[in-house]
Structure 1
Amino acid sequence: MANLKEKLFTDFPPVSTEEWMAKITADLKGADFEKKLVWKTNEGFNVNPFYRGENLEGLKTVDSLPGEFPYVRGTKKDNNWYVRQDINVVDFKAANAKALDILDKGVTSLGFHIKGKDVNAENIKALLNGIHPEAVELNFSTCQKHSLELVKILVDYIKSQNVDVLQCFGSVNYDPFKTILKKGVDNAEWVEKAAEIALAAAPLPRFRVLNVNATRLNNAGSYIYQELGYALANGNEILSKLTEKGLDATLVAKKIKFNFGIGSNYFMEIAKFRAARWLWAEIVMAYNPKCPNECSNKTDDGLCRCAAKIYAHAETSTYNMTIFDAHVNLLRSQTEAMSATIAGINSLTVLPFDEAYKDSDDFSERIARNQQLLLKEECHFDKITDASAGSYYIENLTSSIAEQAWKLFLETDEKGFYEALKAGTVQSAIAASAANRSKAVATRREILLGTNQYPNFTETAAHKIVEGGCNCGCGEGHSQGTLQSLPTTRLATDFEKLRLATEKADKTPVVFMLTIGNLAMRLARSQFSANFFGCAGYKVIDNLGFQTVEEGVKAAFDKKADIIVLCSSDDEYAEYAPEAHKLIQGKAHFVVAGAPASMDELKAQGIEHFVNVRSNVLDTLRTFNAKLGIQ
């Protein structure tokens, strides 16, 4: 048996790339390989249908080990991460009780969102009562104007606890550019404020107080290379300006924290985090950060490689969350969490599935926590460091994403990230990406399950939406400024507006499937059309088939159909469509399912509407809503 195991692959002859290509070319039967099988990504590079060992030759990403510069494979030798849950603080004693409760349920990192007016020593003491700073990562967000005050209070509080500050990890979310990206409000004095905060936090070496919130870019609809490229430019702007002001490069680098979003592009997100570690390490080392300690990780000339370790928090995306069929958000956030943890992040927040339409409750928060705990306790993701290392595909993705992000970083850095924000360059680029992604969803080139494909026809959602402002304690006192801000809509927003309008209408439109002729084609097209019109929340009546068009039209009128969809084969439409159009006589909207060769002839006879895989689903449904008087 042992011999059999040793010779497991010896009976299989090696197959060259040329042989694979010859086989693929033969199977394509003349179709273009590039058009059929090569994926042209939004990131600006192409992805091949297969990769082999030879594709790793010359890649820099395969040369390092976990915990070794440039940290492609991780900034640490293990893959443990903090399980984070955030709490919006309204009542400090209640927030403390909740924090203590969820610490008993598996959370190892707390995030507190505090209103600026509530920042004082007494409240912080009440909030952290019974919470040991050495045992839990502590993170805080508040109004930008109160961040310095909060840092000073935390320094005094933690020092008063007689703990080892080197074992106290956490952050204060001071983001110099948040007011621009969120409200279009300039923060001209950001350098002085950031320097003050960094110096004030120096007594807490493991607290990161200068934040690069790339989550904001992710949730605005950026592509992966944009999120990474702009995040690097953001971090470099902070590092550059503060060192110019006289601060030590090592201190500044160790005070910067990156907060990334996680999209649903599974393998690319893994590659993004690997590329982020690599590129940030190279940027920091360009500042020659000096190591003041006796450390095995410094270079021969005394440079601090530890300063080049990125500290990356990850948070599941809100951009692709949906209100309808909201439990599908669990599937999205689970694959996102898998991407981040396989890639090796420092901490992770999995947002509750109901985040898009209400404040989360105990149930949704529990599920979100358990999504991470399952990855640790049952899937053992924390036991393997950089599980994707050596994958021909992911190593190539890492290199390609790094190349595109670096190119964008250099373009942005040439002008300066702050100047690019004031000019609106960053915001315009991300708005364009968001528009492209929205178009892709409208035409179903990007799928949101339950929203633009396979909707739950009978679901209603208006009753569960709870409107409310942000209570995260940030941006207080700022109205909309004169600078450009980032877009704030989700991918599903336009579809949800359509469907909510249908819900509020006096009458739910009825769509009737007039199925006739070829069995396979009529079934396929009726299913397609039902999903198509179901995305607007219309009532769909499907049928097994009719013997004659006249019978089908009569049945549709009996059901008081507002829209009648003819479902048959292309060849049969030349006969059935004109007959149906004549019998309907404008008493209902008539639609042909498909794009038959006779389409132009049918249009000439007055048939206006066709739905098929090339249709813009969103625009088509908007047209029907308008025709049906639904606002």
Structure 2
Amino acid sequence: MTASDDPAAPRGADALRQAYDEWSEAAAGVLAKARKVSADELPDTAEALLSTTTGDGTVVRPLYTRKDEVAESGLPGQFPFVRGADPVRDVNVGWRVTERFGDEGGSAEEVNEQILDAAGNGTSGLWLKVDGGIGADGIATALRGVYLDLMPVTLDAGAEGIEAARAYLEARVAAPVAPQAAPSTIANVQSLGLSPYTAQFSGRATVDVDAATALAADAPEGVRTFRVDGTDFSQAGANNPQELGLSVAAAVAHVRDLVAAGRSRAEALGQITFGVSVDDDQFAGIAKLRALRTVWARVADVLGEPDAGAAVTHAVTDLAMLTQRDPWVNMLRSTVAAFGAGVGGADQVTVLGYDAALPAGERSSSASFSHRIARNTQLLLLEESNLGRVLDPAGGSWYVESLTADLAAAAWDVFTEVERRGGYQTALSDGWIGEQIAESLAARDLRVAHRTAPLTGVSEFPNLDEAARPAGTAQTVDLATATPKLARVARQFEALRDRADAARTRPSVLLLPLGSVAEHNGRTTFVANLLAAGGISAINPGPIEPDQIAGLTAENAATVAVLCGTAKRYASDGPSALAAARAAGVDRVLLAGPDREWPEATDRCDGSLRVGIDAVATLTELLDHLTDGGSVSA
């Protein structure tokens, strides 16, 4: 007899409660064993101890069960559009692989060659840089030979937006028509890309709002005028609820303008597309797109037009997450971001080049190579992993549904607070939006500095053998998608690396390993990686005795040393090693590990290198000492 056959076995809610209690007891036992205490001595429940809080305040629990079920959210293409905006999406195509053109300059003819080549190699959507590139008068040439009824186009024309929009609409009329008609789907929506409200925040060149609103009155079917670009907020440091809530607030401001100009509410809602940033947190990316559709559908419902509430989304891999150091790791970041965007139901996805954070002159690969890698990242997801063949594959997951609901609720709170303050324009002009994002950026910077938000190749496992970058270029990003308020996640550590590279000789610190390799290896490795994150080399002579310290100090001209060992070894050999280092003239002696491991009632080290410290502040202080204290001349 199985448990389910036993008439006395608990069922329904009772069975769920019993299963949860059994899991909780088992998890508490493991936690207690790891902490070397009894389960009764744990400070909280197993679920609470294993839960984590994301940077935007969302609590992620270790276990999701049937009690976390949410109401059915309908089918893709049906209100409230959580599961997708498109009811007739072609699963053989999936989302649109939208490639960006015009950033590298070149004539309209050259851009046209690039577009046609890309179209023959998997690109199914175009994002065209106009201002500072081909210009409005080059649009027709750049799009020559392109089936614009099949290939959705998004313009990025900045201050030339009105002229570019008119030029594009003329080119669209004259464009060849595909032999086989394209289905009328959201995937084929064209965007004139005008972003006056979000660009006002980020400082990008843009167009006059009234002129853009007037242009929208003449937009033909299948063409949307406004692109509410959430990347304007995310690049400045906005968290996910802020990006979504502020994007919706800006979109509502456009809707009000359009209604005031004589458009119906449904028509006004149909003039908006959304640009959404996605980073390497795949579940957050999935939930972010689902939450945006949820919130926008709710806005449409409040306006009395629920059927017009399908948000058209263009997901773009986050430029702020890309690093200048060890840029090859960006390929992994972008792959995860694209995965999240696709699974989350983005209508179009753009993967930026893996080297996009570097100035053009410092990129080791050609632009065509970077474009191909970005394009093929999506094609592998679509054509080998078949991610586009299932609509909303994460739907029904207790975790994803809960995360979506939490994020949508947080975004709605941001949106309603903006409305309470008088709307988007007022909240922007009185500085509230800037203040909120500045607070979010400061919190993110703190997490990065303490390495609770680790960056592979930058704050973790850095490569000191990389070629030095030109001085003064740490924040330089040539890519036109960069806004004046771009605050890259890695910028604090990369500024330290640039500073260390600018020294005549690389700054170095002497390690003083105590005991056997087994005793010190974990901490010498930790310290070496921590120092390398600031561009500082760790000199590891292997296990040492106190009487060797004077010679090692003189040989390496060391002014800073780090004692590395176990608490037991610190108790036996630490004081004598510290005394020897001081006698040898070492200015600062640091401890690898927490201060509590050092024996009491003895001379103490000058600081400690351990998990959880403000690594940026510590490394900055070390560089100050090493470059100004005589060990290294800058």
CA distance in 1, matches of 2:537, 2:294: 52
Aligned residue for 2:595, secondary structure, equals coil
Aligned residue for 2:231, secondary structure, equals helix
Match of 1:573 in 2: 570
Contact 2:55 2:444 in 1 (8 A): no
Change (3 A) 1:148 1:446: same
Match of 1:536 in 2: 534
Match of 2:82 in 1: 72
Contact 2:287 2:403 in 1 (8 A): yes
CA distance in 1, matches of 2:554, 2:573: 17
Identify the range of structure 1 (605-614 vs 365-374) with the bigger mean alpha-carbon deviation. 605-614
1:559 and 2:574 correspond = no
Question: 1:257 deviation in Å?
Answer: 0.7
CA distance in 2, matches of 1:268, 1:343: 9
Change (3 A) 1:85 1:8: farther
What does 1:447-458 correspond to in 2, within 5 Å? Answer: 447-458=454-465
Question: 1:468 deviation in Å?
Answer: 6.6
Alpha carbon RMSD of aligned pairs, Å? Answer: 2.9
CA distance in 2, matches of 1:310, 1:470: 30
CA distance in 2, matches of 1:117, 1:401: 38
Match of 1:364 in 2: 370
Aligned residue for 1:271, secondary structure, equals helix
Give CA-to-partner distance per residue, 1:165-207, whole Å, 9 cap, x none. 98664212211224422239998x52x2232121132x2x112
Contact 2:315 2:350 in 1 (8 A): yes
Contact 1:74 1:386 in 2 (8 A): yes
Change (3 A) 1:116 1:515: closer
Match of 1:298 in 2: none
Change (3 A) 1:40 1:179: closer
Contact 2:213 2:257 in 1 (8 A): no
Q: One-letter code of the match for 2:166?
A: K
Match of 1:402 in 2: 408
| Unaligned residue ranges in structure 1 (runs of 5+) | 1-6, 290-303, 475-484
Aligned residue for 2:520, secondary structure, equals helix
Match of 1:595 in 2: 594
Aligned residue for 1:241, secondary structure, equals helix
**Residue 238 of structure 2, aligned match among 215, 222, 239:** 222
Question: 1:322 deviation in Å?
Answer: 0.9
Q: One-letter code of the match for 1:172?
A: L
Question: 1:333 deviation in Å?
Answer: 0.8
Question: 1:606 deviation in Å?
Answer: 6.0
Aligned residue for 1:319, secondary structure, equals helix
CA distance in 2, matches of 1:222, 1:462: 28
Give CA-to-partner distance per residue, 1:105-125, whole Å, 9 cap, x none. 11111111112696444x222
Match of 1:138 in 2: 153
Contact 1:218 1:262 in 2 (8 A): no
Contact 1:502 1:538 in 2 (8 A): yes
**Residue 425 of structure 1, aligned match among 422, 427, 432:** 432
Identify the range of structure 1 (619-628 vs 81-90) with the bigger mean alpha-carbon deviation. 81-90
CA distance in 2, matches of 1:610, 1:181: 42
Match of 1:285 in 2: 301
Question: 1:335 deviation in Å?
Answer: 0.5
Q: One-letter code of the match for 1:66?
A: P
Match of 2:125 in 1: 109
Change (3 A) 1:460 1:261: same
**Residue 216 of structure 2, aligned match among 193, 198, 202:** 198
Question: 1:287 deviation in Å?
Answer: 2.2
CA distance in 1, matches of 2:437, 2:60: 23
Question: 1:268 deviation in Å?
Answer: 1.8
Match of 1:93 in 2: 109
Question: 1:611 deviation in Å?
Answer: 0.7
1:502 and 2:500 correspond = yes
1:526 and 2:524 correspond = yes
CA distance in 1, matches of 2:262, 2:183: 25
CA distance in 2, matches of 1:40, 1:316: 23
Question: 1:45 deviation in Å?
Answer: 3.6
CA distance in 1, matches of 2:478, 2:377: 25
Question: 1:609 deviation in Å?
Answer: 2.4
CA distance in 2, matches of 1:584, 1:541: 15
Q: One-letter code of the match for 1:340?
A: A
Give CA-to-partner distance per residue, 1:215-264, whole Å, 9 cap, x none. 12122222111111111111111112321332222222111110000022
**Residue 272 of structure 1, aligned match among 275, 288, 300:** 288
Give CA-to-partner distance per residue, 1:466-512, whole Å, 9 cap, x none. 997757499xxxxxxxxxx9742211111111111111101112222
Match of 1:27 in 2: 30
1:171 and 2:191 correspond = yes
1:42 and 2:64 correspond = no
Give CA-to-partner distance per residue, 1:362-398, whole Å, 9 cap, x none. 2111111110000011000011111101111111111
Change (3 A) 1:318 1:473: closer
Contact 1:228 1:405 in 2 (8 A): yes
Aligned residue for 2:437, secondary structure, equals helix
Aligned residue for 1:228, secondary structure, equals helix
Match of 2:442 in 1: 435
CA distance in 2, matches of 1:41, 1:67: 30
Match of 1:477 in 2: none
TM score, norm. by length of structure 2: 0.86
CA distance in 2, matches of 1:556, 1:468: 39
Alignment length, in residue pairs? 589
Question: 1:152 deviation in Å?
Answer: 2.0
**Residue 164 of structure 2, aligned match among 124, 127, 150:** 150
CA distance in 1, matches of 2:244, 2:515: 53
Change (3 A) 1:562 1:331: farther
**Residue 52 of structure 1, aligned match among 51, 65, 68:** 65
Identify the range of structure 1 (27-36 vs 614-623) with the bigger mean alpha-carbon deviation. 27-36
Question: 1:37 deviation in Å?
Answer: 0.8
Aligned residue for 1:222, secondary structure, equals coil
Contact 1:458 1:537 in 2 (8 A): no
Contact 2:73 2:83 in 1 (8 A): no
Q: One-letter code of the match for 1:505?
A: A
Q: One-letter code of the match for 2:453?
A: E
Question: 1:269 deviation in Å?
Answer: 1.6
Change (3 A) 1:116 1:519: closer
1:339 and 2:346 correspond = no
Give CA-to-partner distance per residue, 1:309-365, whole Å, 9 cap, x none. 110000001112111111111111111100010111110000111001133622111
Question: 1:153 deviation in Å?
Answer: 2.1
Question: 1:553 deviation in Å?
Answer: 4.5
CA distance in 2, matches of 1:610, 1:364: 42
Match of 1:482 in 2: none
Question: 1:579 deviation in Å?
Answer: 2.4
Aligned residue for 2:320, secondary structure, equals coil
Change (3 A) 1:66 1:120: closer
Contact 1:318 1:490 in 2 (8 A): yes
Contact 1:172 1:210 in 2 (8 A): yes
CA distance in 1, matches of 2:314, 2:503: 43
CA distance in 2, matches of 1:358, 1:23: 53
TM score, norm. by length of structure 1: 0.87
Contact 1:431 1:487 in 2 (8 A): no
Question: 1:564 deviation in Å?
Answer: 1.8
Question: 1:66 deviation in Å?
Answer: 1.6
CA distance in 2, matches of 1:606, 1:44: 38
Identify the range of structure 1 (242-251 vs 308-317) with the bigger mean alpha-carbon deviation. 242-251
Match of 1:379 in 2: 385
Change (3 A) 1:378 1:9: farther
1:390 and 2:388 correspond = no
Change (3 A) 1:570 1:355: same
Match of 2:139 in 1: 124
CA distance in 2, matches of 1:106, 1:76: 21
Change (3 A) 1:280 1:373: same
Change (3 A) 1:169 1:67: closer
Question: 1:598 deviation in Å?
Answer: 5.7
Change (3 A) 1:386 1:118: closer
